[in-house]
């Protein structure tokens, strides 16, 4: 599918190949390369930095820290969090939630023996956690949604997260858009990744858009923080207590 130059003043209305039906083998190959991309661009760093801030200020507790990852994909973020928790000596209950049943199978297969991560397949808006999560996180999920569903997702997290939530997504700008096109081609990533990566940037956000979305969900600007990370990440953090 040919690329067209987006208007970076507005979110692009383009479709990603990963959002279309495909075989489990195609999906696995794509997710593996997405995991490689995440490692290369330090994608876990914002989420882990936020978790460190939560852990540093959290009172000692006999209860595990319950973390729900929405649209968990390949599961690499939760596997990094599991490693982080072991290093810090923090008991955790980790759940990865993804709409695609094949994705949950692939994530489970990619996890090491002894991993305690629970993988669930469900639509987030139809999902009721068996126990209230302390933290709800997502990575590269919200840019797949329309604005109305993003507001709905923000409200869902407000309702279900006891301590807070964290959105790790992209920042819309020309440089990461064109840079990723070159990077993905040089790395010979899966065709889905080469196609979808730049589109993901074009479908992503600028801070003012996040402020409007949060306002639509009933949040005051004092309720959340928006922070940029290099390269090309724009994150929204909410701490309730």
pLDDT of residue 3: 52
Residues 6+ apart with CB under 8 A from 46: 166, 168, 227, 229, 233, 235
pLDDT of residue 1: 42
In this structure, whether the domain defined by 24-239 belongs to CATH 3.40.50.150 is answered with yes
**CA distance readout (Å), 131 to 1, 27, 86:** 43, 30, 22
| Distance between CA atoms of residues 43 and 197, nearest Å | 13
pLDDT of residue 21: 87
pTM: 0.94
Q: Which of 165, 237, 178, 236 is nearest to 205 (CA)?
A: 236
pLDDT of residue 5: 76
pLDDT of residue 24: 94
pLDDT of residue 79: 98
Residue spans of the chain under pLDDT 50 = 1-2
How deeply is 178 buried, as exposed, middle or buried, from its count of CB atoms within 10 A (0-12, 13-18, 19+)?
middle
Domain ranges of the chain: 24-239
């Amino acid at each position: 599918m040919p690329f067209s130059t987006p208007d970076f003043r507005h979110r692009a209305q383009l479709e990603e190949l990963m959002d279309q039906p495909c075989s489990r083998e195609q999906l696995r190959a794509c997710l593996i390369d997405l995991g490689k991309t995440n490692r290369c661009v330090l994608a876990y760093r914002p989420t882990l930095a936020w978790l460190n801030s939560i852990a540093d200020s959290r009172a000692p507790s006999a209860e595990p820290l319950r973390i729900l990852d929405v649209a968990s994909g390949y599961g690499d973020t939760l596997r990094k969090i599991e490693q982080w928790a072991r290093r810090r000596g923090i008991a955790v209950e980790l759940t990865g939630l993804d709409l695609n049943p094949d994705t949950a199978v692939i994530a489970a297969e990619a996890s090491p023996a002894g991993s305690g991560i629970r993988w669930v397949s469900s639509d987030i808006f139809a999902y009721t956690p068996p126990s209230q999560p302390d933290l709800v996180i997502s990575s590269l999920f919200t840019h797949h949604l329309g604005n109305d569903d993003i507001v709905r997702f923000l409200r869902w997290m407000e309702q279900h997260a006891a301590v807070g939530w964290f959105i790790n997504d992209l920042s819309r700008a020309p440089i990461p858009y064109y840079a990723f096109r070159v990077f993905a081609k040089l790395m010979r990533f899966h065709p889905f990744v080469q196609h979808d990566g730049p589109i993901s940037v074009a479908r992503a956000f600028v801070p003012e858009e996040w402020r409007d979305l949060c306002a639509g969900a009933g949040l005051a600007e004092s309720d959340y923080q928006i922070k940029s990370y290099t390269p090309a990440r724009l994150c929204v953090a909410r701490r309730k207590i």
